[in-house]
Amino acid sequence: MAASEIPTASEAARQRAAEFLLHRHHFIWPEALPWLLAIAAFFVFPDRMTIGTQVLIMIMFALSLDLILGYAGIITLGHAAFFGIGAYTVGLGLARLGWSEPISGLIAAGLVAAFAGMIAGWFLLRYRGLTLLMLTIATAAMLQEAGNIRSDFSGGYDGLPGLTFDPLLGLFQYDLYSHTNYIYVLVVLAVVFYFVRRIVYSPFGQALTGIRENVRRMHAIGSPVHRRLVTVYAISAGIAGVAGALFTQTNAYVTLTVFDFDTSAKVMVMLILGGTGRLYGPFLGAAVYMLLEDKLSKMSPTFWQFGIGLMLVLAVLFARRGLLGLADTVWRKLARRGAP
Amino acid sequence: MPHLLTIAVSILFDGLAYAMFLFITSVGLSVTMGLMNFVNLAHGAFAMAGGYVVVSLTHSLGIGFVPSLAIASVLVGIASVPFERGLYRRLYKATDLEQVLLTIGLAFMAIATFTFFYGPIPKSVPLPGWLQGDVNLGFRSFPSYRAFLIVLGVVLITILWYGFERTNIGAKIRAAVDNRRMAESVGINVDRLFTLTFALGSGLAALGGGLAIQLFGLTPYFAVLYLVLFLIVVAVGGLGSLKGTLLAALVIGIVDTGGKYMFPQAGNFLIYAITAIVLLFKPAGFYGRE
């Protein structure tokens, strides 16, 4: 059918769709808000930067999960595996090889974790549902057990303490209040975020959403589904590895608990809380979760745990798209009411 | 050589007892997952609840251990029905992710609730005289409690096998696991069937939880600590298969016990390695359907 046979009414619709596709990846001003808040926090709460740094690291970790879970629809309860691999790459690199330069260590951690993600993904991503879930749990658990078997090398559950890295770029010393760390992590997060944003709006990102929504149709139109999934899994693992490396560098220690089931479950809760399949879901989710945890878990760990559970149940029943999704809905309702 | 044989017999015996615990606790999960394809991560919470009911009954009311086990499984079985009717059924058609989140949320809430009432310190349970000490089987003696576990396991397997393979309800369950839509169109009320098996499975889990107190001690974290183990048994065995669950429980139980005897430093590595290998070659488990 020639293009000229398409009725003109749909020509306009096509134009609108094309317009939308061309412009939707453009930066819009509300996107500056989380970054401005992060910078403002640095000046308003200079003495709370230790927790602030951890929030940023968890945002990055949740962002990596969002890429595979929110966009590609891969359910995993073992993402801590890659966080841990990154954390131990820089930890062991310093403790055993004396590799104390932080930025090259960070890049190495990302590459090692991405490579591990590629291998694991190539094996695991043929499976779905419970099988996939169990295999991801087993991956993280096996790494943890392996680390424990060779605890003479890995430091085991006592960890690798007292890791002192070189000053950043040879210029910035680490201070007691984590000011250097905060800026360091914020800059890395910005770089990673830019990268993720590009991926999400690329044709590759579109294909991932297609796989999430209808994998059969993607097979039918000839999309290389397995290769795409392995690719995004490796990218996500790499980002998780960078987050893990930052965790080790900013805390100056690392133990095998990074591979805990709890770590994987926690990051998933953060993502769900903020909203999956959205670029800023991880920001809101991780920040709200970490700040609440900081306050509430000190008051009563039991109630905090009950609260997380209740939050998950309510999120599934009433707010499947997370806090940002909820905000979206409310915003639309208000806008409709406001309109004549 | 006799020394090796002694070790082998011990491993087999302890492994068998452990396998029976795994089977009793996981079988309900396997059948409910096979029926509705529902990922239930709160199954461990029902087992944990059963354990605490047994603790309360024996300590506070002075009821014997064995009657307490029976009462606990009935109570938890009944108590699980509102959860299924009120919460689970809303999500039968939902994605795996939503099921995972709902049930993990429930497990967290259960852990917090039981920590609040019973505290985080491990609980024990008073055993009757005949379950303490050893029982002599002629050629050597074994711990009575583990022997009891094995006997109970065999009895339950026989009952379940009979119920599953030889009764009308069992046939309906098998039909619904095989092909749910077909079963519904020939007039089987799969919904009600599911409630029934869910209650039964939760009751059996509670029984397993009660039995586990003597083996591992009971803390609220039982709900997630052993959950992964139950899920492994279900996934390795194949959803909805009695045979598969039994085989998987035996393999995991005996290998894990053997591994802990011979390479104590390896911890749970062997279990996860086996799980990974089996699932890589047979993604649907031993007797699962692709």
Q: Is the pLDDT of residue A82 over 90?
A: yes
pLDDT of A31: 80
The answer, for B105 touching chain A at a CB cutoff of 8 Å, is: yes
Alpha helices (H) in chain A, listed in sequence order: 8-23, 32-44, 49-65, 80-97, 102-124, 129-149, 151-154, 179-201, 203-213, 215-220, 225-251, 261-274, 281-299, 301-318, 322-338
Total count of residues recorded for chain B: 290
Total number of domains constituting chain A: 1
Identify the residue with better confidence: A249 or A240: A240
Segment A167-194 mean pLDDT: 82
DSSP letter string over A117-170?
Answer: HHHHHHHHTT--HHHHHHHHHHHHHHHHHHHHHTHHHH-GGG-B----PPPBTT
**Which of A123, A131, A149 lies nearest to residue B235, judging by beta carbons?**
A131
The minimum CA-CA distance between A45 and chain B, rounded to whole Å, is 32
The answer, for B107 touching chain A at a CB cutoff of 8 Å, is: yes
Classified as helix, coil or strand, B123 is strand
Cα–Cα distance for residue pair B103/B121, rounded to 1 Å = 24
User: Does residue B176 fall inside a structural domain?
Assistant: yes
Q: Do A312 and B108 touch (CB under 8 A)?
A: yes
The minimum CA-CA distance between A220 and chain B, rounded to whole Å, is 20
Q: Is the pLDDT of residue B1 over 60?
A: no
Q: Is the pLDDT of residue A268 over 70?
A: yes
Q: Do A309 and B33 touch (CB under 8 A)?
A: no
Segment A92-111 mean pLDDT: 87
pLDDT of A240: 96
Residue type, A68: I
- Structure tokens, A66: 């969002």
User: Does residue B287 fall inside a structural domain?
Assistant: no
Domain with residue A305: its CATH number is 1.10.3470
Set of chain A residues whose Cβ sits within 8 Å of the Cβ of B279? 127, 131, 134-135, 138
The answer, for A104 touching chain B at a CB cutoff of 8 Å, is: no
- Structure tokens, A29: 């001003």
Q: Do A149 and B266 touch (CB under 8 A)?
A: yes
Looking at chain A, the whole-number percentage of residues with pLDDT higher than 90 is: 31
Q: Do B106 and A134 touch (CB under 8 A)?
A: no
User: Does residue A224 fall inside a structural domain?
Assistant: yes
User: Does residue A225 fall inside a structural domain?
Assistant: yes
Each residue of A280-325: pLDDT tens digit? Answer: 999 999 999 988 888 888 888 888 889 889 988 988 888 777 888 8
Selected residues 135-174 of chain A with any CB under 8 Å from a CB in chain B = 135, 137-139, 141-142, 145-146, 148-149
Assess contact for A69 and A271: CB atoms under 8 A.
yes
What would you report as the CA-atom Rg of chain A, rounded to the nearest whole angstrom? Answer: 21
Segment B75-92 mean pLDDT: 91
Half-sphere exposure at residue A131, Cβ-oriented, CA atoms within 13 angstroms: 25
Q: Is the pLDDT of residue A233 over 90?
A: yes
Residue type, A133: L
pLDDT of A335: 81
Per-residue confidence band for A338, with pLDDT thresholds at 50, 70 and 90: low
Per-residue confidence band for A1, with pLDDT thresholds at 50, 70 and 90: very low
Q: Is the pLDDT of residue A327 over 60?
A: yes
Q: Is the pLDDT of residue A78 over 70?
A: yes
Q: Is the pLDDT of residue A86 over 80?
A: yes
User: Does residue A287 fall inside a structural domain?
Assistant: yes
pLDDT of A8: 59
Segment A160-175 mean pLDDT: 72
Cα–Cα distance for residue pair B110/B102, rounded to 1 Å = 12
Per-residue confidence band for B67, with pLDDT thresholds at 50, 70 and 90: very high
Per-residue confidence band for A7, with pLDDT thresholds at 50, 70 and 90: low
Q: What integer best gives the mean pLDDT of chain B?
A: 89
Cα–Cα distance for residue pair B171/A92, rounded to 1 Å = 57
HEC sequence for A76-93: CCCCHHHHHHHHHHHHHH
- Structure tokens, A300: 């009563």
Total number of domains constituting chain B: 1
User: Does residue A22 fall inside a structural domain?
Assistant: no
Residue B139: burial class (beta carbons within 10 Å; 0-12, 13-18, 19+) = exposed
pLDDT of B45: 94
User: Does residue A16 fall inside a structural domain?
Assistant: no
Q: Is the pLDDT of residue A200 over 80?
A: yes
User: Does residue B157 fall inside a structural domain?
Assistant: yes
Q: Is the pLDDT of residue B82 over 90?
A: yes
Residue type, B106: L
What would you report as the CA-atom Rg of chain B, rounded to the nearest whole angstrom? Answer: 19
Torsion sign across C-alpha atoms B220, B222, B225, B227: negative
CA distances from B157 to B153, B190, B209, B245 (A): 6, 24, 17, 11
Assess contact for B279 and B235: CB atoms under 8 A.
yes
| A123: containing domain | 47-338
User: Does residue A15 fall inside a structural domain?
Assistant: no
Identify the residue with better confidence: A22 or A187: A187
pLDDT of B290: 58
Q: What integer best gives the mean pLDDT of chain A?
A: 86
| B213: containing domain | 2-281
ipTM: 0.85
Set of chain B residues whose Cβ sits within 8 Å of the Cβ of A308? 105, 108
Show the CA angle centred on residue B216, arms to residues B49 and B104, nearest 5°: 45
Per-residue confidence band for B276, with pLDDT thresholds at 50, 70 and 90: confident
User: Does residue A205 fall inside a structural domain?
Assistant: yes
User: Does residue B42 fall inside a structural domain?
Assistant: yes
Count of helices and strands (H, E) across chain B: 12, 2
Least confident piece of the model among A29-43, B52-66, B188-202, B237-251: A29-43
Each residue of B173-223: pLDDT tens digit? Answer: 888 888 888 999 999 998 888 899 999 999 999 999 999 999 888 999 888
* Pairing mode, strands B141-143 and B134-136: antiparallel
User: Does residue B286 fall inside a structural domain?
Assistant: no
Segment A22-39 mean pLDDT: 80
Helix or strand run (H / E) with residue B143: strand B141-143
Q: Is the pLDDT of residue B246 over 50?
A: yes
Helix or strand run (H / E) with residue B134: strand B134-136
pLDDT of A9: 60
Assess contact for B239 and B37: CB atoms under 8 A.
yes
User: Does residue A27 fall inside a structural domain?
Assistant: no
pLDDT of A29: 77
Q: Do A312 and B102 touch (CB under 8 A)?
A: yes
User: Does residue B117 fall inside a structural domain?
Assistant: yes
Q: Is the pLDDT of residue A67 over 50?
A: yes
Set of chain B residues whose Cβ sits within 8 Å of the Cβ of A137? 228, 231
Per-residue confidence band for A174, with pLDDT thresholds at 50, 70 and 90: low
CA distances from A94 to A244, B33, B137, B139 (A): 14, 46, 57, 57
Domain with residue B115: its CATH number is 1.10.3470
